[in-house]
Amino acid sequence: MPELPEVEAVARTLRPLVERRRISCVHVLHAIATKPQSPSHLTRTAEGQRIQSVRRKGKYLWLQLELGIVTLHFKLDGQLIWFPSAKKMFDVANQEESGVHVDVAFELDKGVLGFADGRHFGRVYAYESEEACPAITQLGVDTISPDFTVSHFAELLASSRRPLKEFLLDQTRVAGIGNIYSCESLWHARLDPRRRTNSLEPVEARRLHKAIVSVLARALECCLHPPPDFRDPEWWFQGLEKILRVYDRGEKPCRRCGNPIKRIAQAGRSTYFCSHCQK
């Protein structure tokens, strides 16, 4: 699960399930999920500890323990699955016929939290503190936090010469925006993804800021209605297509001006945009 709104919805759903619960046992079923850390580093850090809170910044989610943290990153396809017991988890996880692929399972005093990713891109890491996790410390401003202000955003834009699309994907500048919502935000702001960030007029920077805030807010609303149901291994976010205006619409008419949507490659990813009304 991918971008900030989805991860935020997961964080909110996860809190009542795990906060104040103690981790009795960690099962690393597929060691690739902890690479390059060792499975034993994770188990040593987490076992016996109480989960004090569930935190999120950008697309990173982490369990704040009494001593240390466990970070979860879902990359493209990772997800959480909730099991009522370890026995139930072992009954269905990683069985040929089940299709449920659990890489790491946290056995709590009540229930089991599974980190699942059939593609094995997702990662589960342990650190002694939040400050000890380089990926988190290097994140830029979280795009749904109060710190994501127009003036801060304008300063960031002015300090870079990269194309807008690539800038938005750089998690060390602003954290949480991925391929879909960067395309969507640029379409709403009527800005060409290839424009250099430091070429924006103040009014354009404000437009982009406003577009990002509203796109992410609408996506979060969509992700919360209905909220994720971790008990269903098949759960996934529904209805996101409905709110998308430009992503994955190559050759189809622009919903604003009717001209065909273009697909180009930027930073090795697909960018969808309307070259007629995004300037």
Q: How far apart are CA 145 and CA 56, in angstroms?
A: 11
Minimum distance from CB of 102 to DNA (Å)? Answer: 14
* Closer to DNA by Cβ: residue 89 or 175: 175
Q: How far apart are CA 178 and CA 270, in angstroms?
A: 11
Instruction: Estimate to the nearest angstrom the gap between the alpha carbon of 86 and the chain centroid.
Output: 27
Nearest to 53 by CA among 107, 114, 12: 12
* Closer to DNA by Cβ: residue 58 or 68: 58
Minimum distance from CB of 207 to DNA (Å)? Answer: 22
Nearest to 71 by CA among 147, 156, 120, 130: 130
Q: Are 37 and 125 in contact (CB under 8 A)?
A: yes
Q: How far apart are CA 55 and CA 71, in angstroms?
A: 9
| The one catalytic residue among 21, 210, 245, 269 | 269
Q: How far apart are CA 260 and CA 249, in angstroms?
A: 9
56 carries an active-site annotation: no
Binding site for DNA (CB under 7 A): 1-3, 6, 32, 35-36, 58-59, 73, 75-76, 118-121, 135, 160-162, 166, 169, 171, 178-180, 236-237, 240, 248, 267-270
59 carries an active-site annotation: yes
Residue 243 tokens read as 């709110």
2 carries an active-site annotation: yes
Minimum distance from CB of 101 to DNA (Å)? Answer: 7
| The one catalytic residue among 56, 59, 123, 162 | 59
* Closer to DNA by Cβ: residue 153 or 237: 237
Minimum distance from CB of 150 to DNA (Å)? Answer: 21
- On the question of a cis peptide bond just before residue 36, with omega within 30 degrees of 0, the verdict is yes
| The one catalytic residue among 3, 8, 107, 204 | 3
* Closer to DNA by Cβ: residue 108 or 168: 168
47 carries an active-site annotation: no
**Which positions are annotated as active-site residues?**
2-3, 59, 269
